[in-house]
Amino acid sequence: MITLAVDCMGGDHGPSVTLPACRQFLSTHPEARLLLVGLPDAFAGWQAHERAEIVPCSEVVTMDDPVEVALRRKKDSSMRVAIQQVKEGKAQVAVSAGNTGALMAVSRYLLKTMDGIDRPAIATQLPNEKGAATTVLDLGANVDCQPEHLLQFAVMGSALVSALRAQNTEPSVGLLNIGEEAIKGNEVIKRTGELLRSANEANAIHFVGNVEGNDIFKGGVDIVVCDGFVGNVALKSSEGVASMIVGGLKTEFKRNIFTKFAAILAYPVLKALMKRMDHRRYNGAALLGLRGLVFKSHGSADRTGYEHALNRAYDAVRNNLLDRVQGRIAQTAPVLESAASAAAHGDTVA
């Protein structure tokens, strides 16, 4: 039996999305139990389920709450109580669609980071041209990264992808850069490239070299590593273009009676395209590097999207993601140590 603690209040829609998703999830996962954390009122319409237990709380972290409020003032929030279940061993993973900054801060405060990890990261999936998903990390949590941090992201991302995918091959890792040649990029990226090559030689990861922004969507590599600033810009820019194109399509199809007629005929085609690129299928970002599992759903996720996040969290527990991350980090320790001593040496020389 695997137990998930669900922050039922988080996200743009709260219980109206999370509770139906939880019920659907329970029906497809007979080995799962849920701890439903929320304000008592939220469960007014909830029909009892033998594998679901309500854990009442008295506060909610809003999407606009600053990190400090979530961390210091709302100590009985649904988000915090859900993570507390993981800390106390009552659940193996927590799932929330709440505000990312708050979720990371509270998770980090309650669960602490793993040995050998300086900074936890957020790994998300983006759809690619091959009809699969590319895992990108970090997304938003770490804005000033050193090469060691980026190496840790590569290692944790590899553990995540190998835990969650069907085939038993080692996932490939690319370093987000502005060109494929090893001499490209800023100083941090060049030194990161060296570290990743060393980790590849030590068989800790399968590093394939530099990739560029468009490679995220080409699907030639399983994992793309970058700092949280660059990752956020790549994600938001991509969303901006996609929404410009979709908006443009809508405007053009609505232009006159002929284009509206064309829209009716093109509708099944456009629907198939949307399905192929449906980000809901890839919902559920992992917070990696903590002494407990936390998954983050998109704030705007609908029932289907939220259910996918629950599925991913469940699979992560079932496939021992926590042990895998810890094991791989231990395996990378010699690479990091030799890098640290090389850096210290470099400092004295410089």
Residues that bind a second copy (CB under 8 A): 127-129, 140, 143-144, 176, 178, 185-187, 189, 212-218, 226, 228-230, 232-245, 247-249, 252-253, 255, 258-259, 261-263, 265-266, 268-270, 272-273, 276-277
Torsion of CA 192, 161, 83, 80, to 10 degrees: 60
CB of 102 to a second copy, least distance (A): 13
Residue closer to a second copy, measured from CB, 145 or 336: 145
Q: Residue 214, Cβ neighbours under 10 Å: how many?
A: 10
CB of 212 to a second copy, least distance (A): 5
Residue closer to a second copy, measured from CB, 211 or 290: 211
CB of 229 to a second copy, least distance (A): 6
115's enclosing H/E stretch is: none
- Those residues with Cβ within 8 angstroms of residue 273's Cβ, 6 or more apart along the chain or in another chain: none
Type of residue at 169: T
Angle between helices 187-201 and 321-349 (to 10 degrees): 120
Residue closer to a second copy, measured from CB, 84 or 142: 142
- Give the sign of the dihedral formed by CA 170, CA 239, CA 152, CA 179: positive
CB of 297 to a second copy, least distance (A): 20
Residue closer to a second copy, measured from CB, 56 or 213: 213
CB of 220 to a second copy, least distance (A): 11
Euclidean distance between CA atoms 224 and 214, whole angstroms: 11
Lookup result for tokens 């490939």: 172
- DSSP for 126-144, please give it: EE-TTSSEEEEE--SS-SS
DSSP-based three-state secondary structure for 211: strand
CB of 258 to a second copy, least distance (A): 8
Which alpha helices (DSSP H) does the chain contain, by range?
15-28, 67-68, 78-87, 100-111, 147-164, 187-201, 215-218, 228-253, 257-276, 303-318, 321-349
**Residues 115-133 as b or e (16 or more Cβ within 10 Å = b):** ebbebbbbbbbbbbeeeeb
CB of 188 to a second copy, least distance (A): 9
What is the separation of C-alpha 315 from the centre of its chain, rounded to a whole number of angstroms? 14
Residue closer to a second copy, measured from CB, 43 or 253: 253
Residue closer to a second copy, measured from CB, 254 or 345: 254
Residue closer to a second copy, measured from CB, 98 or 292: 98
Residue closer to a second copy, measured from CB, 10 or 185: 185
